[in-house]
Amino acid sequence: MSFRSRSSTPEPVSSPLDFKAAEQSHTMESALIPGRTTFEDLPNDCILLIVKEVAKLPKQGWNEPLPVKKLSVVNKRLRQLCIPLIFHSNKTSLYNYHLSIVQTFEVASNAPSVMSRLFAVEISLYERHDATSSYDNAFCASFVSTLTAMTSLSQLSLSLHNNEILVPMLRTSFENSDAAFPSVQVLVLSEAPNTPFILKACPSLKTFIGRNLTKKWKSTISPLPSMNTLRQVEIDGSENWTPRRLQELVPYVVKIPELCIKGELYRAKLSSFASCFENLRNLNTLAITSTQWVNVRHLERYHMDDRLLDEVDHQQETHYLNEDDATVARTFFTTCSSLTTFRPLFAFRGTRIVCERHEAGVDQGKIKNIRVCKEDDKEYWYGFSSKFSLFGGDD
């Protein structure tokens, strides 16, 4: 350690340029002297190398965000460096695990080069008990502006987890910003009660998938009849299907050419549902579950772990309400005059049955031949080829 003696002569007044040069010199000295160097003292190029290494780390748990996403909430500087790596591909998943996700959305919306290349995004919005109304409003505004910045977005998956507190604020943000996503063609809504404004914001939608729409589901799907570009609708009900409940869905899908109904049948034969589709003149492809409901709670008393699952599968396969697929298909083809493809879905397999109809003459539209097609592994579950299957993996 050295000491300098004070000089009796006054030091000259430094100019602003001298102060700037001194600041740069101090930064270089702090970066060169090991004892005085901190993480914040490193230049962006060095920190970016560290961020790239962090981006290679896997998740610590299935419900945990990637480490690079955790790093992005430390401060504004790190967030700006992490954003390009969070959106490193043309698909991504976002979760509001922390309050700083608001700042992440703000930074992302200001990065058009990153946002404009995304075509598939999955977003889950969980309810936060420590959040305030000001946080929710800021979150919704940033969320909507971020989606608007995704000009090439083709597939959007949004799960609200039945968060009825956030929905009104989200609706306000959509209405105030006149949000519209003309590039979105596939929309997946999960546990999204009373959210018709999301469907209305997608004027070019071709495929809609609704999952676990148990609360205020009629309001959510109310825009479907007025969407002229919509061709494919898939409804995956968490509750069990009955003819009465399915009949409530029919008015919303009268114009849909391709329809897929998932879930379980509640104490009813599949053939009893055929009358529900009698007036659907545009329907040509129908995939509908043939899996019967089983009282799992009762079986839990006698079976555990894998034995429980095996017993559930066994009871569903041997259920007394099960019917022959070809017989059921003929019933549906006879009832619905426009139907040409029928797929009864059982567990994780489905048989595709095609109906050939007379094209002219006295028998025009009547059944000419019914044949069972070979199983196709690529569409073993879905009733149509276009499905939302781009998520998972490295994101």
Which of 12-26, 53-67, 310-324, 342-356 has the least mean pLDDT?
12-26
Q: Which of 12-21, 137-146, 199-208, 209-218 has the highest mean pLDDT?
A: 199-208
CA distance 123 to 121: 7
- Whole-prediction pTM: 0.72
| The pLDDT value given to residue 19 | 39
Tokens of 184: 């979105």
CA distance 159 to 321: 34
Burial profile 85-94: b = 16 or more Cβ within 10 angstroms, e = fewer: bbbeeebbbb
Q: Output the furthest CA–CA distance in the chain (Å, rounded).
A: 118
Which of 38-47, 244-253, 369-378 has the least mean pLDDT?
369-378
Higher pLDDT among residues 265 and 3, named by residue: 265
| The pLDDT value given to residue 269 | 93
Mean predicted confidence (pLDDT) in 164-168? 82
Which of 12-26, 95-109, 141-155, 307-321 has the least mean pLDDT?
12-26
pLDDT for 333-348, tens place per residue? 999 999 999 988 886 6
CA distance 153 to 356: 38
Higher pLDDT among residues 74 and 99, named by residue: 74
| The pLDDT value given to residue 157 | 86
3-state secondary structure 13-77: CCCHHHHHHHHHHHHHHHHHCHHHCCHHHCCHHHHHHHHHHHHCCCCCCCCCCCHHHHHCCCCHH
CA distance 372 to 355: 9
CA distance 83 to 111: 8
Using pLDDT thresholds of 50, 70 and 90, give the confidence band for residue 47: confident
Tokens of 204: 């070019």
Contacts of 177 (CB under 8 A, 6+ apart): 141, 144, 145, 148
pLDDT tops 80 at residue 99: no
| The pLDDT value given to residue 71 | 85
Using pLDDT thresholds of 50, 70 and 90, give the confidence band for residue 275: very high
State the angle between helix axes of 166-177 and 133-149 in degrees (0 to 180), rounded to the nearest 10: 50
pLDDT tops 60 at residue 301: yes
Mean predicted confidence (pLDDT) in 169-174? 89
The amino acid occupying position 189 is: L
pLDDT tops 70 at residue 129: no
Which of 187-191, 264-268, 299-303 has the least mean pLDDT?
299-303
pLDDT tops 50 at residue 33: yes
pLDDT tops 80 at residue 246: yes
Which of 111-115, 197-201, 263-267, 373-377 has the least mean pLDDT?
373-377
pLDDT tops 50 at residue 9: no
Q: Which of 284, 282, 302 is nearest to 294 (CA)?
A: 302
CA distance 304 to 18: 76
